[in-house]
């Protein structure tokens, strides 16, 4: 799941430790991060990733209770600095290499599995960052994803509220 907060920061979490381990191994080797197997194991167990690739080594020393909103987020500022693109490429590679029935992938053609991606944001999430997340997904041919938002009621007194009220009164009569 990719989460965007109101400050435009991106966070990533994956409930499959085997998949996340493969992703981190790939990122480590492709970007020369210098992560040890022990550090990768610690990162896999954290509830979310909320720092740039260059900070993963120090982030691996965090305890789960130290993770909070003060994290810098995964850089997604623009096309020149959108590290989420690298993460999504690693996820696509990992889903393709792990295989099996429980890959976290969608599709049933065996050879063309895509990661299941959930994008979580709300009305306070900033559009430019949202657009950069979509760019990271599409650059890696991830064209299907689920969007989760915070549900809000219709503002009282608005035209939509009035319409809903009139429809409710006709149904109850």
Three-point CA angle 6, 136, 100, nearest 5°: 110
DSSP 155: P
The more confident residue out of 69 and 48 is 48
% pLDDT > 90, the chain: 39
Q: Under DSSP, is residue 85 helix (H, G, I), strand (E, B) or coil?
A: helix
Q: Can you read off the two tokens belonging to residue 6? A: 């109101």
Domain containing 123 equals 2-172
Phi, psi for residue 140 in degrees, rounded to 5: -105, 20
Most confident of 136-140, 160-164, 168-172: 136-140
Q: Under DSSP, is residue 122 helix (H, G, I), strand (E, B) or coil?
A: coil
User: pTM of the prediction?
Assistant: 0.75
pLDDT band at residue 107 under the 50/70/90 scheme: very low
Q: By the 8 A CB rule, do 113 and 103 touch?
A: yes
Give how many domains the chain has, as a whole number.
Answer: 1
Give residues with Cβ within 8 angstroms of 117, minimum separation 6: 1, 2, 88, 91, 137, 142, 144, 145, 146
């Amino acid at each position: 799941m990719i989460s965007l907060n109101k400050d435009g920061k991106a966070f990533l979490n994956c409930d499959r430790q085997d998949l996340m381990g493969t992703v981190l191994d790939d990122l480590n080797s492709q970007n020369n991060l210098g992560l040890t197997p022990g550090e990768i194991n610690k990162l896999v167990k954290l509830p979310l990733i909320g720092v740039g690739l260059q900070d993963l080594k120090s982030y691996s020393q965090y305890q789960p209770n130290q993770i909070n909103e003060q994290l810098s987020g995964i850089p997604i500022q623009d096309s020149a600095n959108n590290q989420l693109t690298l993460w999504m490429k690693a996820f696509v590679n990992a889903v393709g290499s792990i295989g099996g029935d429980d890959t976290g992938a969608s599709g049933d053609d065996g050879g063309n599995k895509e990661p299941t991606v959930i994008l979580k944001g709300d009305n306070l999430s900033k559009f430019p960052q949202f657009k950069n997340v979509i760019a990271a997904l599409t650059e890696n041919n991830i064209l299907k994803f689920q969007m989760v938002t915070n549900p809000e009621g219709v503002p009282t007194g608005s035209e939509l509220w009035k319409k809903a009220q009139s429809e409710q009164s006709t149904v109850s009569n």
